[in-house]
Structure 1
Amino acid sequence: MFPSRSPQGLMQSMAIILLIFTLEIERVRSRVFTFAPSMRISQLSNWLNQDYPCQGDTIVFEENKKTVTFIDESMQVSSVILPHVGSLIFSDNSVLGEKSPWQCTRRKSPEKVFFQPEAIFPAFSDPASWTVDDKPLLHMNMVPGPKDDVIFHDVGAFQISIDDQVTVNTLKVSKDWVGPNTG
């Protein structure tokens, strides 16, 4: 394992041992990952060109894309063109036909506005889908692993693409933890 007994060889060996030790510590440390994408109707980034609906506008969902949308606040629009496949989930306080603070007042002439989140099915294996408090991380540790805890937002709707079997320590959805030590 040791290249040579010279001072330079000894330094290389110590650097290799330190790297292995650091990687081992990094591998066993657990973290809390929070799923970042949101399908809230009131989130500006979910609207094409960040053009959200004003009173009297028409909301258009992409007709051929599966869509899960959380109507987290009231909204007043003239019509909604729904997708062929999808779900609209209303919060307890949302009312269709009532203006919400996030909406702009009427335009001179009503427009069509398009609900198009950046990622319709964000991937579990995509580091951009997750937020972690203690950055920076090695690339291999930027998505949840078997020792990590995963949180999906307490309020709202979400959809995620999982292309392979995934193991995490615990999973929190709607304020409930599920895992080996949660009873």
Structure 2
Amino acid sequence: MVQAQGWPVDVHPLPPLLHNRPQLIAREVEALVEQLRPAYGSVAVGYADCGTYGALDEVCERLGVRRLAGLHCYDVFAGAPQVEALLEDQPGTYLLTDFLVRSFARTVEQELGLDRYPELLGDYFGHYTRVVWLAQSDDATELAALRPLAQDAADRLGLPLQVVPTGAEGLSRALRTLLPEEAPCPP
């Protein structure tokens, strides 16, 4: 997205599996910010709170850097009001992003051990009532390719799938707030 927007930004990702161990996110972000600071005039954090329960905010405040707003990436993609409405409607909602749809076998099944211990499925997901895929892609071909993967993830959990198209605008808006004011921001 950064490249497509023409933003003067370098992206330095952390491992996505940190989301499975949110207690490590703040420490890893701090180390990366400290590493990058000497080479950049401005550093921002492309994480929402992501389950750190404020630990990431403490790091960002101490280091004087901004992060994406929201409790989690779902807020970034769909907007906090829509996520709240989905969860209020059915508290047992399991949310998927495009990333999770693509990597479900690795990031969910393998990481939770369900590939080795399928009997744990009920322990982990027994109280869920549906899967909601927050579909970010605006590309019809990509959405068509991801749809069967999302359905497969829901089927593996034994839950019905609901697709909520969010597009990429929420992420684009959120990222734009992290850009320095002098950076060009095409509409």
Regarding TM over 0.5, the answer is no
When normalised by structure 2's length, the TM-score is 0.26
User: Structure 1 or 2: larger strand share?
Assistant: 1
TM-score for both structures, normalised by structure 1 = 0.27
Could you say which structure has the higher helix fraction? 2
